[in-house]
Amino acid sequence: MGLKINQNLVNDNTGKALADLCPFKAISYENGKLDINAGCKLCKLCVRTGPSGVITFEEEKVELINKDDYKGVCVYADSDHGVIHKVTFELIGKAIELAAVIKHPVYALLIGDNCKENVNELLSYGVDKVFVYEDKALADFDMERYSNCFADFIENIKPSSILVGATNVGRCLAPRVAARFHTGLTADCTRLEMKENTDLVQIRPAFGGNIMAQIINPNHRPQFCTVRYKIFDAPKKVAEVKGEAEYRTVKPEWLKSNVEVVEIVEKPKELDISESDVLVAVGRGIKTAEDLEMVKELADLLGANIACTRPLVEANIFDAKHQIGLSGKTVKPKLIITLGISGAIQFVAGMKDSGCIISVNSDPNASIFDVANYGIVGDIYKVVPELIKKLKEAR
């Protein structure tokens, strides 16, 4: 939709009148030609009160798709050197829930080499069908090659929805493929729901975390979304495997790439708080870096790792790998103790599904208490030493 200028009706009188009429100075009249620039806000004042017929508003005619042509909820099986990322199994669990609403099959898409073991593992989680693109040239991730295989899957199988883990690979691959099919993608979803008309409701924080936006893609398929690790729960393995695998033909022209992998260097393993069973998280309630000694002592007694909020990363007290939240890591430990954290939605979105949440804050109205299983209202400089004392006594 947009504004259309009928230049045949433009003259000095109508051109100057419309240029003067626009409150955003988006209409210009020069050398006998009327023009509308990017400053236009589509207020349509020029259409309603300007010279009749010179500028008109035209609705774009959208051809509606047939949603019945698309079947299945698909999970992209993210694998690195033959090892499937755990987020894949979490997404399979959610895909099974979503597919049950619309009675669609659950698919997995696997791209790589020597895929047999991974195929069997995916089927053991209740997937109805695994589509496999297997070739030696696909052993390592290559954007162009993987995109070509992904595109073939969509063109021929026509899945309704595709769930992708928000890993390094997933965040590269999903938007590229979505753009190829001129469809939308919602990144870092925290919840997913399915309508009976097969529209996927993709829910994520927006506007700085002030609202939870519900995003749908009603006239484009497939529907793409990415989801972080530790957001959903992986299902239990099925007692009896009923699904099957379909090995797709990989055409030589798909394997052409402008990128040559010269060498793969393994990074040293670093702390991954997403894998921690116990965490002690600190926020602005910590006044100085030196005060972290008591936090470290508490963490050591609990066998915990230390995490933090974004302000402590920005203050260079912690490395970003320790950060919980929308711009950090999503965690789901068995136990998390938060110290001096108010509970902004950006932080809470990254830890709200933890097994047990114990929060310490001097403000009784702190929003962190809305998600905490146990809340302690008090000064962390008094509470933490007391907790350390009790833990030592218990030992």
What does the pLDDT read at residue 1?
65
The answer on 27 and 77 residing in a single domain is no
Give 153's contacts (C-beta < 8 A, 6+ positions apart). Answer: 74, 109, 131, 133, 159, 248
The answer on 378 and 339 residing in a single domain is yes
The answer on 170 and 40 residing in a single domain is no
Q: The domain spanning residue 16 has which CATH number?
A: 3.30.70.20
Q: Which of 11, 29, 58 is the last residue of a domain?
A: 58
pTM score, two decimals? 0.82
The answer on 314 and 230 residing in a single domain is no
> 132: which strand partners?
110, 247
Q: How far apart are CA 126 and CA 144, in angstroms?
A: 30
What does the pLDDT read at residue 395?
80
Domain coverage including residue 173: 67-255
Q: How far apart are CA 172 and CA 188, in angstroms?
A: 13
DSSP symbol at 228: -
Element (H, E) at 356: strand 356-361
Q: The domain spanning residue 155 has which CATH number?
A: 3.40.50.620
* Number of structural domains in the chain: 3
Element (H, E) at 58: strand 55-58
What does the pLDDT read at residue 263?
83
**Beta 161-165 vs 73-77: how paired, if at all?**
parallel
Q: Which of 58, 77, 106 is the last residue of a domain?
A: 58
The answer on 205 and 98 residing in a single domain is yes
**Beta 27-30 vs 33-36: how paired, if at all?**
antiparallel
Q: How far apart are CA 2 and CA 115, in angstroms?
A: 50
Half-sphere exposure of 219 (CA within 13 A, CB side): 4
The pair of three-digit structure tokens given for residue 327, joined into one six-digit string: 């711009």
The answer on 54 and 72 residing in a single domain is no
> 73: which strand partners?
106, 161
The answer on 277 and 388 residing in a single domain is yes
What does the pLDDT read at residue 345?
86
Domain assignment present for 267: no
What does the pLDDT read at residue 394?
87
What does the pLDDT read at residue 211?
81
The answer on 147 and 108 residing in a single domain is yes
Mean pLDDT in runs of 10 for the chain (395 residues)? 88 93 93 92 92 89 89 96 94 98 98 96 97 96 96 98 96 97 95 97 83 92 96 94 96 92 82 93 90 94 96 92 91 96 91 95 95 96 95 89
Q: How far is CA 99 from CA 88, 192, 199, in A?
A: 16, 12, 11
Q: How far apart are CA 186 and CA 201, in angstroms?
A: 10
The answer on 113 and 246 residing in a single domain is yes
Q: What are the start-end ranges of the H helices in the chain?
A: 12-21, 45-49, 86-102, 116-123, 143-157, 168-180, 292-302, 310-314, 345-348, 380-394
Q: The domain spanning residue 340 has which CATH number?
A: 3.40.50.1220
